[in-house]
Chains A and B, each alone.
Chain A
């Protein structure tokens, strides 16, 4: 597989999100709830991939996050993979080209991710209290992610769109002069 500039930019953005998630995001926490930058990668990837591909990339992202957290390795893998699968599945059936779609996808994806993580943590580690954590963590974080997604989605789409335009421009010039 040829690694393009687009891949490099996506990897850099992903690494930045991993770092910012543990440094910058706690600084903008509201009521102890900080947004999850990683979920944007999972959701935005799921919006352009097939369900199984989306689940695969969700699992990869989850693995990296799990390795950084170092606690109950595997919960993020399963949760991101499932959330990505559902989003990609829903996108294939109900997709509409408007701004509401990614916002809704972020909310549903965050909600599925948080809920599944909590259920799995409940099975694996008894101390996590389901109802309390659901009300104080999962729901507010899903809302926060959705609210912040505008600020993340628009620049991200701008960068990716610009790169797409540049790539097509280069292709056009290549075809024209060769």
Chain B
């Protein structure tokens, strides 16, 4: 009897393990929505997480004030020099802006970001698993956030919304192994795909670069707008290493992101706004699924399912 019971327990455990593995495989990053229970857990813990994150931020801000005075003086001198050089640069850029505007019209390039409405949000938590690069931000369905909306900061592209609950949203960072962004090198317009490096690293790599493409270190990489998730022109990072892969048939570049992912506190979510005309308020498009399916089907942008 005891032996039979042991056998039954082993069978039950084996069935449970198989069922759990099925559940795990069904709850990857390609889910469209989260379950009610997850929503409750996330929404209930969000205020606590927000409070602690804010407290941690304030504490580190206070400790940052106690830096060496010499260091501050040096920094002040360097900043003054930088302001002078930037003023000269601004003058040059104003000329370039006029020229750029003319060229844009000439090339008939639409200003992609004009169609997007940025909504400010704050980071409340980070993923506790070091190989998942995600953050939780304040605001969810209540703010009109939906899956795949791009998230940026002043420095550049942060990632895209992956899961949304009533009051929070999980952002899949571009440094995550399962996030991919269709990108171009700004100067040469060389196309490729930027993906997370893994290995607990904040760097990215750009793949699918033709062997004859002229790319070099220091060049800026921006989003290409292909794939339908990220608008064109979002700054991603700069190239810091180029290597030849696949027996010299292709090139691969390591890209250092502009965004400091360890110090993210405020972000902007780009919600897609369609003007409904007249005096009506802009309508936030809740669903990007059609675009996303198109993008993901083309394998350009979205999730990296296998490598």
- Which residues of A line the B interface, CB within 8 A? 15, 18-27, 29, 31-34, 36, 38, 64-65, 67-75, 77-78, 117-118, 120-121, 123-129, 132-133, 136-137, 141
Contacts and interface: CB of A to CB of B under 8 A. Distances in A.
B145 to A, nearest CB: 15
B34 to A, nearest CB: 6
Interface stretch (B48-56, B220-228, B245-253, B293-301): B48-56
Given A67-B38, A69-B132, A75 B125 contact: no
Contact of A19 (B52, B170, B202): B52
Interface residues of B, number: 46
Contact of A126 (B49, B53, B130, B305): B305
A68 B130 contact: no
A68 B35 CA distance: 11
A70 B42 contact: yes
Contact of B25 (A15, A124, A141): A124
Interface of B: 17, 20-21, 23-25, 27-29, 34, 37-38, 41-42, 45, 48-49, 52-53, 56, 60, 124-132, 134, 136, 163, 170, 177-178, 198-202, 262, 304-307
A132 B205 CA distance: 16
A70 B163 contact: yes
Nearest to B198: A129
Contacts of A78: 17, 20-21
Contact of B27 (A32, A65, A70, A136): A70
B198 A133 contact: yes
A29 B126 CA distance: 12
A3 B134 CA distance: 36
B45 A19 contact: yes
Contacts of B45: 18-19, 68
A78 to B, nearest CB: 6
B141 to A, nearest CB: 15
B20 A74 contact: yes
A21 B198 CA distance: 21
A34 B27 contact: no
Which 10 pairs between the two chains have the least Cβ-Cβ distance?
A74-B24, A22-B125, A74-B20, A132-B199, A23-B52, A136-B200, A21-B128, A73-B27, A126-B306, A127-B177
Contacts of B134: 71
Contacts of A69: 127-129, 132
A128 B200 CA distance: 11
A109 B28 CA distance: 25
Contacts of A29: 130, 262
B41 A64 contact: yes
A125 to B, nearest CB: 6
A126 B24 contact: no
11 contacts: A22-B49, A23-B49, A26-B126, A64-B41, A67-B41, A68-B38, A69-B132, A73-B27, A74-B27, A127-B178, A127-B307
Contact of B48 (A19, A74, A118, A126): A19
A97 B60 CA distance: 39
A70 B29 CA distance: 9
Contacts of A67: 37-38, 41
Contacts of B52: 19-20, 23-24
A32 B128 contact: no
Given A18-B45, A64-B41, A128-B177, A73 B23 contact: yes
Nearest to A136: B200
